[in-house]
Structure 1
Amino acid sequence: MPFRADREVPGLIVKFGDYPLHHGGVGAIRSLGRLGVPMYAITEDRYTPAACSRYLERAFVWPTSGAEEPAYLVEGLLRVGRRIGRPAVLIPTDEEAAVLIAEHQDALADRFLFPRVEPGLPRRLASKQGLHELCAAHGVPSPVAAFPRSYDDIVEFAEKARFPVVAKNREAFVRRTRPAVNGTTKIATRAGLLTLARDWGERPGVVLQEYLPREEAEDWIVHACFAADSTPLALFTGVKVRSWPPHAGMTANAYVVDNPELADLAARFIQQIGFSGIVDLDLRFDRRDGRYKLLDFNPRMGAQFRLFESGSGVDVVRALHLDLTGRPVPAGEQRAGHRYVVENIDLPALLAYRRSGYTTPHAPHRPSGTELAWFAGDDPLPFLTMLARFVRPGAKHLYRLWRTNRRGGTTTAMK
């Protein structure tokens, strides 16, 4: 490997909320741990897959819901920093953590290393309305959207809308309040929309978007890490083959596919808004008008980031650590054709996609290599722990995510 990481500066996985089966955190622990970087993680308990990794120095058991007050979370994070005893690179795995770090940079700066950004930017990017406004301001295509403020607004929208439409929660912090919808929800009819909307209260916290039909679309992802001046340190593009729940959820299977046009679009947008650090973008290519439309902007590490690695051995987490410790990030081309598989959700996703008849035209017939989300020969315990925690409750959870909400012909999928 043509670089050495600073082994005196540890990394800390920061997560708020109860989602113990998170393969992204395990991937980050392995990625830096294999370079000799001491790794720490905040975990729900001592028996999460992340807590069982051989590359983890210590798990800080700190159950949170995501509904705590920011002051409480900041103080808890500082307490973890004091226990580590030296500045650590923060690696957030959810929007709550990314936004908290950005909005409390001064309080956290003495204990931790992290990219400095405009404090309100990550919250705006994580918000569906904030992202839509930024896209409009900078000429980046995104789905046509409406942001109703009342039930009457929804009725007016329903009179003119072309169905089906998609409903999503407007703000990122849906764990802090009762969410209007349980993830990305496809609504087939006007009657179905009005029925659902009756449960959304006086101020519906939703965005209603045009539906981009999967028969005329392709799902693309961009993972990247940007320097303080918003220039790319590492930038990768790939295509999502399968997700769970189908077509609207977490990546279950993906490939690295070179896409210079998409890479340029992402880099220009990041430069325009002045973001630095790791990003995970979801875009849909609409064959009807030939444009890539930005669906989601996650201002943090994505769970499937280990799909992407350059020929010089750099992924976005390694790029972040190298940059924040003052080391150069070596250039290198991405591993085109490389595949990523999330073992516990790809099999049900495969069965569902076969029934739907959907295939992506960009998946290579023979991958150049495969990265498994959970299993690793040098670190098997996270995989075994995942199986032990997943088999019974996990199967029930998959069913709940996939089942169709029959009210008004809606389909709900977690994102």
Structure 2
Amino acid sequence: MKKRFRVGRKIMVVVLAAVLCLPVILNPMEAEAAKKKGNSGAATYAVGDDVAFGFFDGTILSWTILTYDDTTKQALVVSRKPLNSRSVTAYRLAIDQMYRDKKTEAGYVRWSENYWRGWLNKTFYETCFNDAERAMILRTTLSETDAKNSIMNYYHDTSMDAYVVQGNKKNSLNMAIYNSQTTTKDYIFFLSSDEYTAHKDTMKNETKLIFPLRTNAYDDPTQGLFGNDTDKLIYRMYYYAGDSIRPAMNIQLGEPEATTDDSSSTTKSTTNSANSKISTSDTSKSTTNTASTSNTKATATATSATTSTATASTASNSKKYANNGTNTGDLTLPDDSEYTTSVGATAQVAIDLEYLNSTEKNYTITYKSSDASVFTVDSSGVITAVGKGSGTITARMKKSNGKTYTMSCRVDVN
């Protein structure tokens, strides 16, 4: 009798534990938020706090808050530890195998074409978060200007360069790489060298792993920049080496206390460093996820660019495009990271004006194909597929006030 009682008690303990853990498994963000209550009963957060958010390879993910705005309730978070589980390792090995099969080597890869960008915004975003969690992830604009500034800041800052700290001479700036940066929009991304420098002391130092940063190396096309979880310095390494990654994203932690100015649809994340350029998070959530895996080697082939003056749509459609006034397109910049077509087919490039946050209607747009043997592009942004291969379509939009935006998308012709 006593034995049956002890067995029954053990069963009850297990069942009770499962019941108590169920809310954490079903909605880890709400379970974590319940631990931090202010006097008003609402969840409160601060820089350095950890939040549970998402489920990856059998483990609930933990994120560290790097910036937090108590008015907008928006936070920039990074994974508490570098992720080096089976899914991360398998994906990197698959990319390595792809290069071996094609008998090619990885060259300089911008963030817009980086294979991790596609994985983060497609596989990771769609499978590791539930509907409620995805609704809280803000789409973030990663601007060309901030990417350039991050490269320049790293070039001038020798204190974070592990190569220089070890007694070596700083290499010269590669202007071709510096000028090739583009604007992208992502749900999930890697920290730039600026962001890592600003927040390295807030990030947890619990492993001896390295992880890639968003900013590419300025001095060697076959290398990238990596953060180090031991000495907190930045290393230049072969960009496809290493098994760990450290995703980051902007998330909404509750309802904002006050609405922002109607003239602006974006909120800037704050930082602890005057030199840091933090990504801009869009408060208007997109309903589509167009980022996908991109594994292309940048080419130096250039074709003649053409120019047109575009007029923004005045239709009631919530999407506003500028592409010679047509308002429709087969691929949209900067939203799309890749587009597939066949030889002889044509496609219209459209430009999403939402992220520009402007009511101005006049733009000068220059379209450019990286390889005319793969596809050409005319002054209206119409692509014509010429031969099999891969190339990059780049659109450079110049506003009447002088501001310029550069966007690109990989084009695969089968």
* TM band (smaller chain): under 0.3
Larger Rg: 2
TM-score by length of 2: 0.25
Would you tell me which structure has more helix in proportion to its own residues? 1
